[in-house]
A and B are shown apart, each in its own frame.
Chain A
Amino acid sequence: MKLLTVVAGVMLVFVFVWERVDVVRLGYHIERLKVQKVLLERERDQLQVKVSALTAPERIAKVATEKFGLVPPLQGQVLMVHEPREVPGIPLLPAEQVRLAQHVSTGRTEQ
């Protein structure tokens, strides 16, 4: 019984020490991952800036005209024969479907 108690005690101490060491080890590991995450985020942001700069309409227009020799269409050269394309975010809704903020009219005739 005594031996069992001593072994159990030693095991507990071992587990405690192992747990403390592992916490420190994990701490360093997390720190390394954090550094890696920061570096990846930095790279992502730099790539995002590059994408935004490369897709700027001014640059695309310049490449289109100077590199590929394209020119803007002249009057009458654009003819839409299908359903008109709606640009997302700018739909022309019927007046009754337009969502409005709270009415703050101070004018002479209320809507």
Chain B
Amino acid sequence: MSPGPSRGRRYVMLLLLLCGFGIILFRLATLQVLQAAELTARADRQHQKTVSFEGARGVVSDRHGKVLAMNVEVPSVFGVPASLESPSAAARTLSPVLNIRSAELERKLQQDKSFVWLARKVEPEQGRRLEHLSMDGIGVVMEGRRFYPKGPLLAHVLGFSGMDGQGLEGLERRYDSHLRGEKRVTVLQRDALGRTVFPKGLAEQIPTPGHALTLTVDEVIQYIAEKELEEAVTHSRARSGTIIVMEPRSGAILALAVSPRFDPNVVAALTPDRWRNRALTDTYEPGSTMKIVVAAAALEEKVLTPDSLIFGENGRMAIANTIIHDHEKLGWMTFSEVIQKSSNIGTAKVGMALGEQRLYRYLQAFGFGQRTEVDLPGEVSGLLKAPKDWGRRSLASISIGQEVGVTPLQMVSAVATLANGGVMMKPYVVSEVRDEKGRLLKEVLPQVKRRVVSPNTAKTMTTILEGVVTNGTGAKGAIPGFRVAGKTGTAQKIDPQTGAYSSTQFVGSFVGYVPAEAPRLAMIVIVDEPQGEAWGGTVAAPVFRRVGEQVLNYLGVPTEDTVKIALAMKDP
């Protein structure tokens, strides 16, 4: 038997092996236990990518499905300063592509940050040019950008959204919770080449787009209203203007035009004054259009009849140490003539016959001094003082549309109430909300607010208001072939310098409905501070006629002659 290795050598070998295993164990423990968290995080960074997805903002379309607002993906450009060899050289290359000054880009690229935005939501062509440049440390990602393809059309109603997709104004703000897409953060796996590997269940993780809104507005009617308003405001050199077209039977708003217009695609340089929806946010003293409410209240309360006689005091009447004037010397008139000739004195007498409490009750019933609750943001309630705060002249003043502040929407809603047989409807703009698959989530049906006057009173008022157009101050609002019921208004504005009524600043308006016998449209036209002739019957009534004529043609509403011909052919 040959002698084996000595015991000493065996121990040395054993010791070496133990040391070797010990080192391995120590390294294992270091990697797996002591540095586990840090190394796991590092590994995750290398083969995982955290991505934040936000679904596209919902589409907004008119009542016939014509798209008014939608999202389109466009490139946004970012930089990774740590990966750049020369920030100044990169800035010089990027400057002509992004149309941003080189110094500004260089300042951003020299920041001690791992990520900086260089330009967000640029044009697709700029993104393509950058991809061709293929610069290290400069990247392009796609982001949703809101587009309003019709430009300024309906801009005051639509509003606009911000850079991060949040609704800031108009419907974009009011319906932001519906329009916003779902936001979701997910982790994607990457292979050794950096390509994204399809993870399990990603299909379920894609965020859903926002809900789609269908409006009551018709883009053609809206266009007609905006075109005619722009022409009127430009022609009269007015400060601003408003038109609202409403369907009296439902309260659906068919058009809401405000001048001056703005393009919601380019709002960065504009002030809130430009995008404010004056139809809801601004109040004005309505002047003679308020006589409609006084007359309806007097008829409903049977204070008088259309044939009751009222003396016009020859155009001048003293009340509470002040004088109320008429625009002409009027003597005895019927109540109908008081409205048709827009007599301040006659209407003030009617108001006084009604009394403070009854007049106040009807003003409230017609919706003044309270929001209409239309589904648009920024609506104000107007100004209507309680009778306890009225002065000695207030009853007469309010009867002729002074000492009271109303919004254009309140006034057209009040008149639409008469067009609807005395029943007030709640105005609304959004008729449907649908999810991304087109399923109906919410349908807005016409909503009755209250009955304000009886059908008989509404019918009598229609006859009186027809007389305003056929024999009175609203002759220029007449639409050939249709019976029009309406009322003119010319209100003096308060001069902020003196606090008194201005003799040069007016608001001219016309409010009415057509066809009077079966109203399809209720409309208000307001021209604020027209230069030169400022009578409502001169500056606003012709606009009512032009808009009404085109819209009735568009809707295919037959003229009186057409109906007569059709009846004659049917029954020869």
**In chain A between 6 and 65, which residues have their CB closer than 8 angstroms to a CB of chain B?**
24, 26-28, 30-31, 34, 38, 42, 45-46, 48-53, 55-58, 61
Any chain B CB within 8 A of the CB of A88? yes
**Most chain B CB inside 10 Å of its own CB: which residue of A34, A86, A90, A105:** A90
Any chain A CB within 8 A of the CB of B237? no
Q: Which residues of B contact A48 (CB under 8 A)?
A: 67, 70
B556 near A87 (CB under 8 angstroms)? Answer: yes
Q: Which residues of A contact B78 (CB under 8 A)?
A: none
Any chain A CB within 8 A of the CB of B553? yes
Any chain A CB within 8 A of the CB of B115? no
Chain B proximity of A51: nearest CB distance (Å) = 8
Query: 5 tightest A-B contacts by CB?
Result: A107-B450, A52-B149, A85-B556, A27-B198, A57-B223
Contact of A92 among B447, B449, B452, B520 (CB under 8 A): B520
A31 near B196 (CB under 8 angstroms)? Answer: yes
In Å, the complex CA distance between A110 and B562 comes to 37
A108 near B365 (CB under 8 angstroms)? Answer: yes
A111 near B448 (CB under 8 angstroms)? Answer: yes
B562 near A53 (CB under 8 angstroms)? Answer: no
A residues near B (Cβ < 8 Å) are 24, 26-28, 30-31, 34, 38, 42, 45-46, 48-53, 55-58, 61, 72-73, 75-76, 78-81, 84-90, 92-93, 95, 98-111
B64 near A58 (CB under 8 angstroms)? Answer: no
Known: A49-B149, A52-B66, A107-B450. A92 touches B518 (CB 8 A): yes
In Å, the complex CA distance between A21 and B449 comes to 67
On chain B, which size bracket covers the interface?
35 or more
Q: Which residues of B contact A103 (CB under 8 A)?
A: 448
A100 near B445 (CB under 8 angstroms)? Answer: yes
Known: A27-B197, A42-B142, A89-B63. A80 touches B447 (CB 8 A): no
A57 near B452 (CB under 8 angstroms)? Answer: no
**In chain B between 85 and 126, which residues have their CB closer than 8 angstroms to a CB of chain A?**
124
Any chain A CB within 8 A of the CB of B523? no
**Most chain B CB inside 10 Å of its own CB: which residue of A30, A31, A86, A107:** A107
Can you give 10 contacting A-B residue pairs, CB < 8 Å?
A: A26-B198, A28-B195, A28-B197, A31-B195, A49-B72, A57-B219, A79-B559, A100-B446, A105-B451, A107-B449
Any chain A CB within 8 A of the CB of B281? no
Known: A52-B149, A58-B151. A79 touches B450 (CB 8 A): no
